Amino acid sequence: MKILSIQSWVSHGHAGNAAAVFPLQRLGAEVVAVHTVLFSNHTGYGAWRGAVVDPSLVREVVAGVEERGSLADTDALLTGYLGDAAIGEAVLEAHARLTRANPRALWCCDPVIGDVGRGVFVRPGIPEFFRDRCVPAADILTPNHFELDWLTGGETRTLTALCRAARGLLARGPKRILVTSLAVEDTPAEAIDVVALDAAEAYRVRIPRLPIVGRGTGDVIAALFLAHTLAGLPVAEGLARAVSSLHGVLAATVAAGREEMALVAAQAELVAPSRLFTPERLA
């Protein structure tokens, strides 16, 4: 596997490329990383230093990668936090370059918009860019529950409503959707649900809620789900393995009393999760 990953970079902790690149490499993928921001830490801390990368620099880096002939054998594009809507245009151009070089390449788009409790936390124009420009072009979409609701313009409180909304997004272009951080009416307070679906079937995995703030977890699970998709796993198995690996990393993080994910210390979980959760097929 070879993946072009265009997303944020943080020096402290794990988010964006700093969360996605290592898990992909641990699963045997070669990663070409292009950064959209250079921040000291995740914005969830409330304070950070650094800057958003100029869109022209993102274009230049991707163009240089293309000139080396690297895109022809690249299997997928992975994108996440943009930093600015103008960078979104550079991402679309990168996607166009990739599909010209390899028409079979997939695009996994993590539409980072916001979260429950925080609301929308990205710059103006970015949510609309994801909804109007990225959803129709992406092959895999990995929103959290809040982002799914924002993209579909509703509030999904039941599993049936959520699957209906996700299938509405599937009808617009994506082939697979992974919905993370899911809490509907039948989700116990001590649990978190994750749902994955394609045109034919849908599955849910329920995991125990851990006492940790999940900074960068969406970036990790998007990378894992993409890797398992590229490896040819069915949607149910890809969901189960991605969720189980992330849960294993977070459990190790809690056990170690750490605030940031123990990605390196618990790297064995990325390859062979110690506890494999069973996916439940949904009607």
Q: What are the tens digits of pLDDT across the range 136-145?
A: 999 999 999 9
pLDDT of residue 226: 98
pLDDT one-digit tens code per residue, 60-96: 999 999 999 999 999 999 999 988 899 999 999 999 9
pLDDT one-digit tens code per residue, 17-71: 999 999 999 999 999 999 999 999 998 888 999 999 999 999 999 999 999 999 9
CB atoms within 10 A of CB 199: 12
Residue 147 has pLDDT above 90, yes or no: yes
pLDDT of residue 83: 84
Using an 8 Å Cβ cutoff, are 80 and 20 in contact? yes
pLDDT one-digit tens code per residue, 167-224: 999 999 999 999 999 999 999 999 999 999 999 999 999 999 999 988 899 999 999 9
**Model pTM score:** 0.97
